Amino acid sequence: MLIAGNWKMYKGPAAAAEFCLALRDEDLRGVDVVVCPPYVSLAVAVQLLAGTEIAVAAQNVHWAQEGPFTGEISPSMLRELGVYGAIVGHSERRQHFGETDATVAERTRAALDAGLFVIACVGETEEERERGATQDVLRRQVSVLEADENLVVAYEPVWAIGTGKTATPGIAQEAHAFIKSLLDVLVLYGGSVKPDNAAELLALPDVDGALVGGASLELDSFTAICRAATRS
């Protein structure tokens, strides 16, 4: 089981340091744990989690190694910092910053080629689900990815991101099974995962972990989800 905490645009270096110091003291044996701080907090997270089994990943990564790409960060820069991996194609990147299937493919391939672990995100909007297009959307988004031992996919129904809504176990299991029929990878669930629903979701046969948003910002809720994973 893999539990990744996506901090989004929260926790600068001071708050990240406080969280990581506390996380070090938690017994999280039996689950693979990743934290994904904003860029400015990556260095302190890497430093404070060194020597533990907890990995640090970025929330995005560019496809070029260097160049005139203001505001972007390359795979080699992340590797130099000691970062383990990166999220690619999160629904908020697609919605707010023009991410496309093509750029997701480029970012994913560049990161994997550089030796990074990648969590590639896919998922349908509420409108797409209501018109019965979920499988078409997932097929299109997954089609640009290639199976790799360092690639996992995160299924995040867009209508469940930051809304408090969560896919029913049936919806989540169906989507995960479909993704696995397209690509031989582990598949995480992302979409308002909380301590009170984590155990049920993580017990599903084709759910291999979770990409946790808001609930990863508080130590108690994040560790509760991690412990739920050890019981699944």
Q: Where are the domains of the chain?
A: 2-230
In this structure, are residues 222 and 26 in contact, taking their beta carbons and an 8 Å threshold?
no
Q: Give the global pTM.
A: 0.95
Amino acid at 79: R
**Marked catalytic residue, from 92, 124, 156, 176:** 156
CATH of domain 2-230: 3.20.20.70
Sequence-distant (≥ 6) Cβ neighbours of residue 167 within 8 angstroms: 157, 160, 175, 189, 191
Give tens-digit pLDDT for 130-148. 899 999 999 999 999 999 9
Annotated catalytic residue 126: no
127 labelled catalytic: no
pLDDT exceeds 70 at position 162: no
User: 62, 90, 124, 176: which is the annotated catalytic residue?
Assistant: 90
Helix (H) or strand (E) holding 94: helix 91-97
Note the pLDDT tens digit of each residue in 88-105. 999 999 999 999 999 999
